[in-house]
Amino acid sequence: MRAVTEGHGLQRGDSVPHLEIGTLDGGTFTYREIWQHKNLVLVALPEASGDGYASDLARHAADFRDVNSVSIVTRDRIPGLAAPGVVVADRWGEIVYVATPEQISGLPAVADLIEWLQFVRRRCSG
């Protein structure tokens, strides 16, 4: 896996940077706490955006738990990830999917993210 350097956008096969970021609910997420234990859906939203996408993800928290995963939404800057943007990574931090659409409406549906996580689970168990 390739480490992320400044100016390089996150890509499939890269490692999720070990970061500490603020979440939309006012908490703090430290990647090191789930690394090697859970898969990750990491969503970066622009500063001036609504919380509709985050609310949709939150409604599916049980679905994420079912595939040993967490979803984290932030407005903090993430090195290598544009906002809006989303990455799906396995529990070892390898990114398997990246999307950086022009607008939030272009972010993938929650069902699509869960399909990526199911893919990760099959890949890691086989």
Global pTM value: 0.91
pLDDT digits (tens, 9 = 90+) for 21-44: 999 989 999 999 999 999 999 999
Residue 35's nearest CA partner among 106, 89, 99, 112 is 89
- What are the domain boundaries of the chain? 20-125
Distance CA 104, CA 117 (A): 21
Residue 53's nearest CA partner among 85, 26, 79 is 85
Q: Does domain 20-125 have CATH number 3.30.300.30?
A: no
**pLDDT band at 66, cuts 50/70/90?**
very high
Within 8 A by CB and 6+ apart from 101, the residues are 84, 85, 107
